Structure 1
């Protein structure tokens, strides 16, 4: 079997793919009267309403949608939560996450092998800038892109098309590295290649087909990517 060709650009999702969101569970749990079990519901509700905004040709910062949907989850569980308190916990929690243990080593190896590394997130430009500064990831990336400039949240096809155009490459020259089934599905449907990082609790969407790489962490995915010719 011939080695696969190298993608011209590696795009990386940020939250959960690169950054460990475990502390987020604790902080959101505190805000929801100790209900850490509600984190998954909040996260999926946040994604749902980001898609609602995009479908309605609207845009709000991901943190604003996060705060609004946290209020919704709280209300559905008879928990009082003000807009100010919801936004405060979402912004502070998202911007204080650390990288997964293997991430910096894997990114260094990819850079040493000549790959162009671009982060691409549903978070705002300011949000990812603060996240990377805190996590010490800024220097690893050639570009940091946000859907804020695309006007559509991932996994809308327009979001992936915009990123490819921004980097002046065709869709088939792009590879998304992400820990979310919905994200790699959207990328593949947009003509991109994809590597799925199977963080705990994450699965690929069976109806989207399999990614060419399926690995349990970024280093294992990197070990495959650096073999491409």
Structure 2
């Protein structure tokens, strides 16, 4: 009887010990809160849907082609990066709209494409949660910066138009290195500028490709699940998935 009791006691001790060790391991693996929050801009902070009107007008009423235009622009920004070339995001945007028009048998000129893209892109409104969400994060003591594929001049105009200038400590554009996200060098460059280790920064974006690149570069990542946006299933999972910046602020509180 005493042997059976001893075995039960030993088994219980092992179970408790294993549980404590497992809990400790999980606690050890949980990343610390980031020192810096790095935000993507287009679609993450700024609402692109307002461009449906201008894009649709240029494409003969085909407002449904807006997502195709944006994905074509992203695709060819990477063509520039892997081929060692560089054109700014506005130029690629115009070229991409001409391609979408051609592939859909729609005749537009370069000037019409510029009119449809440049001014509307620089005056995008913020998503409804953005200002209040950024204010909460700033009040919580986080350093807020942006990292965008847009040009320095372009993102400055966007932030001024959207009323976001006061929320950010710094704005960074890949124009300075002429390497588009999600190339790992873009994230490594901004980490050097910020003088932080990868795990001390969090990339926040509404694009699966952006959080995938940042995750591979060692950053903490949060995917903002804006309508119509999805994660890349073959990439590493982000640390967090939230519906908006209110949820992010609550998560990081």
* TM-score, normalised with respect to structure 2: 0.87
After TM superposition, list the pairs within 5 Å mapping 1:23-172 onto structure 2.
Answer: 23-172=50-199
Structure 2 CA distance, aligned partners of 1:198 and 1:25? 20
Query: Which structure's residues are more often helix, by fraction?
Result: 2
Task: Compute the RMSD of aligned alpha carbons.
Answer: 1.2
Q: What are the ranges of 5 or more consecutive residues in structure 2 without an aligned counterpart?
A: 1-25
> Are 1:195 and 2:202 an aligned pair?
no
* Structure 1 partner of 2:37: 10
Aligned residues of 2:47 and 2:124 also touching (Cα < 8 A):
yes
Higher-Rg member (1/2) = 2
Q: In terms of mean alpha carbon deviation, does 196-205 or 166-175 score higher? A: 166-175
Deviations 1:70-91 (A, max 9, x none): 0011111111111122122211
| Paired residue secondary structure (1:175) | strand
Residue deviations 1:28-56 (CA, integer Å, cap 9, x gap):
11110010111111111111100000001
Using the alignment, how far apart are the partners of 1:127 and 1:88 within structure 2? 15
How far the C-alpha of 1:211 sits from its partner, in A, is 1.1
Secondary structure of 1:145's counterpart equals strand
User: Contact (CA 8 Å) 2:31, 2:199: kept in 1 or not?
Assistant: no
User: What is the alpha-carbon distance in structure 2 between the residues aligned to residue 85 and residue 166 of structure 1?
Assistant: 38
Once the 2 structures are TM-superposed, how far is the Cα of residue 4 of structure 1 from its aligned partner?
A: 4.4
Q: Which runs of 5 or more structure 1 residues have no equivalent in the other structure?
A: none
Q: Secondary structure at the match of 2:105?
A: coil
Aligned match of 1:21 = 48
Q: C-alpha displacement at 1:223, in angstroms?
A: 1.0
Distance in 2 separating the partners of 1:213 and 1:62: 28
Rounded to whole Å, the distance in 2 between the matches of 1:87 and 1:55 is 25
What's the counterpart of residue 250 of structure 2? 223
Answer with 81-90 or 148-157: which moved more.
81-90
Q: Secondary structure at the match of 1:19?
A: coil
Give the drift of 1:58.
1.1
**TM-score, normalisation: structure 1:** 0.96
